[in-house]
A and B are shown apart, each in its own frame.
Chain A
Amino acid sequence: MGAGQVLKMGWILLVFCLLGCRGDSAATVVVEFWAMGREGEVAPQLLPEFERRHPGVRVKVQQIPWGAAHEKLLTAYAGDAMPDIFQLGNTWIPEFVALRAVEPLDAWIAGSPDFDLEDYFPGILATNVIAGGLYGAPWYVDTRLLFYRRDLLARAGYDQPPDSWDEWLTAMARLKAQAGADRYAILLPMNEWQLPVILALQRGAELLKDDSRYGNFRSPEFRRAFAFYLALFRQGLAPAVGETQIANLYQEFASAYFSLYISGPWNIGEFTRRLPPAVQDQWSTAPMPGPDARHPGVSLAGGASLAIYRGSPRKPEAWQLLAYLSEPAQQLAFYRLTGDLPARRTAWREGALADMPPTRAFWTQLQALAATPRIPEWERITSKIAQYAEAAIRGALTVDEALAALDRDVDGILEKRRWLLGKSR
């Protein structure tokens, strides 16, 4: 870069500074709010009422694409450019707590009598608790369960979705036999970590051991779940395809390319919108089958929370916004805009969500959740699980090789954690 250019940039900077220094004359506080994807798109529609109730506060919503959200938040933290309040995927909470980027909410909640923690799903709320402190308020909840084609299942001789693993396997075998060579019983994008982990949690696997110091993926529970998962591909019940290879999920579901699909609440809206009318009343949802008689089997406690930046100078206003977005009425309005399931049970009751078919299964499933380890490294560990699951499905590794490699990599990831825990003792 030449000196001339530098000079020019200097001028530009100066102009920006002058513009920036021009303070707002009115005493309005602008709260910056980062929300991801579709949530960021619709969040502004919830805000007029908030701004009416709090005349001195304006909210600036910044929409962040989901794919880049994690990086953007970390970079914002490193660059000291954090928003006052932000949406945070609840598996990311431990990371941002380790960074000391998130304000603990306990004191704020104690000062707001209307804020009823009892109203939240306990399994979801637990993901926001790190070492006894609450760091986020669940905004919407998310878990995975079975989407199925009722007509195809009925033709295979089932008027009810399967309850147990055995029944599930037999049902899939029949569905596959009925579907033929180039169609499948179930669709499982093979670069996802969620299903192997759900199956392992159902088996009661402890994913990490010694206070999350080491990986525990060679445990008999995880191994059995992993083998069950792989068998779905080996037996040809699920096609060995990645997410990017499925051109149009909805078209494929409509054309009976697969009959079962494990997915989350966002697909209720998508299926309603995108499936052709002929299939519209032929699909439904069911809680996860369990490995034994216990039904439903547990699933993941997912979703996103609202968190406040610890270093924000506008915490009171950010808290007002957080409390407002957590009101049952707003949760219900948010559900109607996005299809994201409310985190508060009052909102479910007010919207009669627990009584209607597509959301009813989620209501049942949300009572049976299992938490994944709440450590900052978890996000990274999941990418390793996906990597080795895919390698095993493609046949590059055997089950034992894949799990041994997974344990080795995870132990490597957790090395720093072991050192920190040893240091603090």
Chain B
Amino acid sequence: MRLPAGQRNSDPLGTSWPQRPSPAVWFIAPALALIGLFFLLPVAGALLLSFTDFDLYALGDLSNLRFVGWRNYRLLFQDPLFWTALKNTLYFVLVGGPLSVGFSLGAALLVNHRLVRCKGLFRTVFFLPVVTTLVAVAVVWRYLYHPRYGLLNYGLGLFGVAPIDWLGDPDWAMPAIILMAVWKNFGFNMIIFIAGLQNIPVHLYEAAAIDGAGPWRQFRSVTLPMLTPTFLFVAIITLIGYFQLFAEPYVMTQGGPANSTLSIVLLMYQEGFRWWNMGYASAVAFVLFAIILAATLIQLRRRRD
């Protein structure tokens, strides 16, 4: 039904656009414009691209571009390399993620303990890997991982463990990447956990102590429940970050040996910038987006229940 002009803006729920935009619009407009220009627009462009076969030939001459519908996605799901990459990425997320969160929680509890002196120093030391350039870290870790001259194998050798070819053996390359990634990243989550821990009122512990709860019981019944929101935040941020595994294998192994450290983002990078199959690479990006979205929603749902 067409409303007369005067009535159009007077619906009782106030859901329609006001006649004059509120001043708030002007405050958010610059940021919105930037997000639109540098984020939404490229995302929409990439979505379009994922339905084309944009490649070297199209880069040279746009008339060689074809709209191919869902073909990139269909090919992607038939590509054994994609499934390898997905498997590797899930391996990294499912093993590396909990390990990283657990490790940061442990470090946070230790650093935050009242008996610890020089808290600031330990916090800084544990946070250092986070701010160190990954490439520099990778160079050092490659020495540590060296099968014959590396410190790690030397240490294991003292316990009689035969040398492990960390980055050359398909079975060990991913654990090696996980170990390095956990070491590199746990400091960030640790800081967040420390903030969470410091927000727990002391009187809760005092009350628990009066009720006769020991340290373990206090941890289970006071610390953990009070940390739930922090946990949720850390878990989701870690999940999203770990799904986007790229720099570690890119610098350390280039996806090898035998594609055992090829992650989805690395596959996307190789398709996009090595072979210039931008259409296919965009499809990979959107599939990864869908996977991360689904994993995040599951995580949120699980916490809410």
Contact = CB atoms under 8 A, between A and B. Distances in A.
Given A98-B56, A244-B167, A244-B257, A412 B31 contact: no
A376 B56 contact: yes
A245 B30 contact: no
B75 A191 contact: no
Contact of A1 (B34, B57, B61, B64): B34
Interface stretch (B143-151, B182-190, B234-242, B297-305): B143-151
A396 B53 CA distance: 31
Nearest to A95: B56
A412 B75 contact: yes
B273 interface: yes
Interface in B160-204: 165, 167-168, 170
Given A71-B273, A376-B56, A244 B168 contact: yes
Nearest to A71: B273
A367 interface: no
A14 interface: no
Interface string B20-45: 00000000001100100000000000
B230 interface: no
A416 interface: yes
Nearest to A5: B34
A420 B31 CA distance: 44
Contact of A100 (B34, B60, B256): B60
B203 to A, nearest CB: 39
Nearest to B142: A244
A100 B257 contact: no
A242 B57 contact: no
Interface string B234-278: 000000000000000000010011110000000000000111100
B119 interface: no
B121 to A, nearest CB: 32
Question: How many A residues are at the interface, by size bracket?
Answer: 20 to 34
B217 interface: no
B292 to A, nearest CB: 22
Contacts of A390: 258
A100 to B, nearest CB: 5
B59 interface: yes
B168 A420 contact: no
A245 B168 contact: yes
B275 A245 contact: no
Contact of B275 (A3, A99, A380): A380
Contact of A394 (B168, B258, B275): B258
A247 interface: yes
B57 A416 contact: yes
Given A245-B147, A420-B57, A74 B273 contact: yes
What are the 10 closest A-B residue pairs judged by CB atoms, nearest first?
Answer: A245-B168, A99-B60, A3-B30, A71-B273, A242-B257, A100-B60, A380-B275, A244-B168, A74-B276, A98-B60
20 contacts: A71-B273, A74-B56, A74-B273, A75-B273, A77-B59, A98-B56, A99-B56, A100-B60, A100-B61, A101-B60, A242-B256, A244-B168, A244-B256, A247-B148, A247-B149, A376-B57, A380-B275, A387-B259, A416-B55, A416-B64
Interface of B: 30-31, 34, 53, 55-57, 59-61, 64, 66, 75, 146-149, 165, 167-168, 170, 253, 256-259, 273-276
